[in-house]
Amino acid sequence: MLVMNSRLISAPVLSVQAGGPIGKITSTIIDPNDLKIIAFRLEGPLVNKQQNLLDARSIREYSNYGFVIDDIDELIGPDDVIKISDILKLNFDLLNLKVETKKGSKLGKVQDFTVTSEDFIVQQIIVKRPAVKALIDPELTISRKEIVEITDYKVIIKDEEKVLKQKAEKEDFVPNFVNPFRESQPGFAPADTKNPGAQDN
C-alpha cells in the first residue's frame, strides 16, 4: 500500500524481543539514485544515540501500529553499513527540493511524498505550489515516472501540462458502480469520514 512520508515520521518501532516499542521514527534516509528509503533515524529512551539507525532491510512489517523488528540489536550506527554511510555523506533530503520542468517552468517545492510500504520506494511527490499558482492548484501529485533528474537542489520532471491533465482527469472521474458500504448493514460500522484516523486507535 502507499503511505505518506509524513505518516512514517513519529511512527513507533516495535521489537518482538522486547515485546513493545523501543522508539519512534524521526526522519528517513533516501538514496537519491533510485528514490528508495534505505534507513530510518530513531529516538527513544531505549535508543543509543550512537546506534540510532534502522536499516530498512531489518523491518519485518509496517502497519498502522508502526514498524516491527526482531530486536533492538538491529539498530546500527552511521558507519556500520557502507551504503548507508555513503548516502549520509551526501546529506540528501527530498523534502523542500524545488520542482521544475525540463523547460524551466517552476512548479513549487516537495512538501511530502508517498512510498510503498513493502519496499519503501518513493512512488509520488507532493508539490506545494507557489503563491500565485496555489490559488488554482494548492498542490500537485507527481508520479515518479514523470521525474527525469534529481540534483542537490531540485527535481526535474518531463511536462507540467501532462501533470495538470492527469490531475484534471482524476477530478472529473465519476465511478459507475454502487458502493455497498454507503448504506448501513447489520454488523457494519461506517468509517468516521470527519476523523479518518479514528479507527486506527
Number of neighbouring beta carbons within 10 Å of residue 115: 24
119 and 58 part of one domain: no
Domain limit, last residue, from 64, 90, 116: 90
Question: pLDDT by residue for the chain (201 residues), tens digit each?
Answer: 899 999 999 999 999 998 999 999 999 999 999 999 999 999 999 999 999 999 999 999 999 899 999 999 999 999 999 999 999 999 999 999 999 999 999 999 999 999 999 999 999 999 998 766 655 667 899 999 999 999 999 999 997 766 766 666 655 444 444 444 444 444 444 445 445 555 554
Give the pLDDT confidence of 43-82 residue by residue, as tens digits.
999 999 999 999 999 999 999 899 999 999 999 999 999 9
Cell of 126: 507532493
117 and 135 part of one domain: yes
Residue 57: C-alpha distances to residues 68, 69, 119, 133, 192 (Å): 11, 10, 9, 40, 35
CA distance 192 to 199: 8
Q: How many structural domains are present in the chain?
A: 2
DSSP assigned state of 130: P
At 41 the pLDDT is 98
| Residue 201 belongs to a domain | no
At 159 the pLDDT is 79
82 and 12 part of one domain: yes
* Residue pointed to by grid coordinates 553499513: 81
- What's the CATH code of the domain at 20? 3.90.50.10
| Residue 102 belongs to a domain | yes
- What's the CATH code of the domain at 121? 2.30.30.240
At 183 the pLDDT is 47
At 177 the pLDDT is 44
| Residue 184 belongs to a domain | no
Q: Using CB atoms within 10 Å of the CB of residue 46, give its burial: 0 to 12 exposed, 13 to 18 middle, 19+ buried.
A: middle
| Residue 197 belongs to a domain | no
| Residue 194 belongs to a domain | no
24 and 82 part of one domain: yes
116 and 51 part of one domain: no
CA distance 78 to 44: 17
At 181 the pLDDT is 42
CA distance 136 to 197: 28
86 and 102 part of one domain: no
31 and 106 part of one domain: no
**Residue 39 sits in which domain range?**
2-90
122 and 55 part of one domain: no
CA distance 59 to 53: 12
- Give the predicted TM-score (pTM) of the model: 0.77
At 115 the pLDDT is 98
37 and 70 part of one domain: yes
DSSP assigned state of 166: H
